[in-house]
């Protein structure tokens, strides 16, 4: 697809009030050097025309766009369903979703904005519910069903992705206004209440130098645990970068920093796998600028 044609898709998304940002060409991830994407989304046509002079794909940030997107995937070659879904008529995420709707006594909510994904799956776009903060899920509804909400994004229509699983283009199937997320799905996706927060234990030396490092660590952990729902992942990344600089300078141990940040991320409900990827990325970035503390 030409850059001009893709820009039309991006502008159309922004016209709906959806916050967009670039993904690398033929990829599902931001371009090299485009960090903290959560803070760099836009709906401004002039900004979009400038950015998409380059052959970027389209990312749609679901949180600020007030969207919840249900991703009904297809199995990868050779992938078999888990035992609980190994039953007649279940072949992919769409089948699982249809079964869940039947179990709940609810119709399939297909009267909404739909995108056909590059491997034959389906993205169902819904407006996010008022008064409930939904986050990303992976498989919590069922096999091959993921959701993207606060803190997440989806590859937008018009994008082409090529990787080890093949290539293809994301195409709009139903260009209608997203319907509200059905109430029964809101309840299924509502995060469980978090346990009461407790301080993260940071055992460091009590001398002046150790006190400085301890304060730096606690400050970064507080950055994570006090971050707003739409900023959790960005706060975690920035904290990992800052502490990664101290790791690179020999002031902190990487395993200990990872453990502290993981515990802080768990307190705000960040999915474990996503948190681990963000922490690792931040530590790598921080390693490029080592920082030491004077004795």
pLDDT band of 205, cuts 50, 70, 90: low
In terms of pLDDT, which residue wins out, 280 or 267?
A: 280
The arithmetic mean of pLDDT across residues 245-252, rounded, is 90
pLDDT of residue 196 exceeding 80:
no
By percentage, how much of the chain surpasses pLDDT 90?
A: 62
pLDDT of residue 137 exceeding 90:
no
> How far apart, in whole angstroms, are the C-alpha atoms of residue 166 and residue 213?
47
pLDDT band of 22, cuts 50, 70, 90: very high
Positions of CATH 3.30.2250 in the chain: 3-189
Q: What is the pLDDT of residue 279?
A: 93
Classify strands 57-61 and 153-155 as parallel, antiparallel or unpaired. Answer: antiparallel
pLDDT of residue 183 exceeding 60:
yes
In terms of pLDDT, which residue wins out, 150 or 107?
A: 107
What is the 8-class DSSP label of residue 156? Answer: P
Straight-line distance from the first to the last Cα atom of the chain, in angstroms, rounded to the nearest whole number: 58
pLDDT of residue 264 exceeding 90:
no
Class for domain 3-189, per CATH?
alpha beta
Q: What is the pLDDT of residue 89?
A: 94
Beta partners for residue 67, in sequence order: 127
């Amino acid at each position: 697809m030409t850059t001009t044609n893709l820009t039309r898709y991006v502008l159309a998304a922004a016209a709906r009030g959806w916050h967009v940002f670039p993904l690398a060409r033929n990829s599902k991830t931001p371009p090299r050097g485009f960090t903290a994407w959560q803070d760099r989304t836009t709906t401004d046509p002039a900004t979009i025309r400038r950015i998409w002079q380059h052959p970027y794909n389209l990312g749609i940030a679901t949180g600020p766009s007030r969207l919840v997107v249900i991703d009904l995937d297809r199995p990868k070659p050779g992938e078999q369903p888990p035992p609980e879904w190994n039953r007649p008529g279940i072949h992919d995420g769409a089948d699982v979703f249809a079964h869940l709707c039947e179990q709940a006594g609810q119709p399939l909510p297909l009267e909404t904005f739909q995108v056909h994904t590059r491997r034959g799956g389906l993205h169902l776009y819904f407006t996010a519910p008022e008064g409930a903060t939904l986050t990303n899920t992976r498989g919590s509804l069922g096999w091959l069903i993921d959701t993207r909400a606060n803190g997440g994004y989806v590859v937008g229509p018009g994008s082409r992705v090529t990787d080890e699983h093949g290539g293809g283009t994301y195409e709009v199937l139903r260009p209608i206004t997203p319907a509200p997320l059905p109430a029964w799905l809101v309840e299924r996706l509502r995060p469980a209440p978090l346990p009461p927060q407790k301080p993260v234990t940071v055992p460091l030396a009590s001398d002046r130098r150790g006190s400085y490092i301890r304060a730096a660590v606690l400050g970064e952990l507080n950055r994570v645990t006090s971050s707003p729902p739409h900023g959790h992942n960005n706060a975690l990344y920035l904290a990992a970068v800052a502490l990664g600089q101290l790791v690179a300078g020999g002031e902190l141990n990487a395993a200990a920093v990872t453990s502290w940040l993981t515990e802080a991320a768990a307190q705000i409900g960040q999915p474990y796998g996503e948190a681990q990827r963000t922490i690792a990325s931040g530590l790598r970035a921080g390693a490029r600028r080592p920082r030491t503390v004077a004795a």
